[in-house]
């Protein structure tokens, strides 16, 4: 990590999973004193919630874990593929939509699945969409995202040493 490490989390609406991942990653990076080394943002492949704060159910669940989510939903755009080093998606639909939007094959190599970095949930392939779920769905998403963000940060720290 020579310059700032730029990470973009992507889900469908950018009101549940990806803003939560953004908040969790910010907190982890801050705890390790690495805030200045990172740029962390999130976006959605669907623009219908543009400008909105995260879903109140996700804000409440995150607040119970000490996180305040203040991101405003925004759509993923082509320029994001140039600007960010890593684009971390939540599920197959995000993965396919992000690939479709990537301006080039080389830039699409920046797309990763969040579950690649999950260590306590082996075999998982996606972070489930909690939008039509109850309270437990949001808690499960936060558990998975905490696992994935921790794994992602460790992977980046190892990259720096390599």
Catalytic residues: 11, 17, 129
What is d(CA 56, CA 54) in angstroms, rounded to the nearest whole number? 6
In whole angstroms, the minimum distance from the beta carbon of 64 to ligand 4NP comes to 18
Interface mask toward ligand 4NP for 125-154; x: CB under 6 A: ----x-x-----------------------
Residue numbers 102-121 binding ligand 4NP by CB under 6 A: none
* Number of residues in the chain: 162
Q: Which residue is nearest to ligand 4NP (CB)?
A: 13
**Per rule CB under 6 A, count of chain residues that contact ligand 4NP:** 10
Tokens standing for 127? 């972070």
Q: Tell me the sheet residues that pair with 112.
A: 88
Task: Identify the H or E element spanning 27.
Answer: helix 17-31
- Binds ligand 4NP (CB under 6 A): choice among 7, 8, 11, 149: 11
What is d(CA 12, CA 90) in angstroms, rounded to the nearest whole number? 9
SS3 call for 29: helix
List residues near ligand 4NP by CB under 6 A: 11-17, 48, 129, 131
């Amino acid at each position: 990590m020579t310059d700032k490490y730029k990470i973009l989390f992507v889900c469908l609406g950018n009101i549940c999973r990806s803003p939560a991942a953004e908040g969790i990653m910010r907190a982890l990076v801050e705890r390790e004193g690495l805030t200045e080394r990172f740029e962390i943002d999130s976006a959605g492949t669907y623009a219908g919630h543009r400008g909105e704060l995260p879903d109140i159910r996700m804000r409440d669940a995150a607040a119970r874990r000490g996180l305040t989510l203040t991101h405003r939903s925004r759509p993923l755009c082509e320029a994001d593929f140039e600007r960010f080093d890593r684009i971390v998606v939540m599920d197959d639909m995000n993965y396919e939509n992000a690939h479709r939007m990537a301006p080039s094959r080389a830039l699409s190599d920046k797309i990763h699945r969040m579950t690649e970095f999950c260590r306590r949930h082996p075999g998982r392939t996606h972070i489930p969409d909690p939008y039509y779920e109850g309270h437990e769905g949001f808690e499960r998403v936060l558990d998975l995202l905490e696992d994935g963000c921790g794994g992602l940060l460790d992977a980046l720290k190892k990259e720096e040493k390599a």
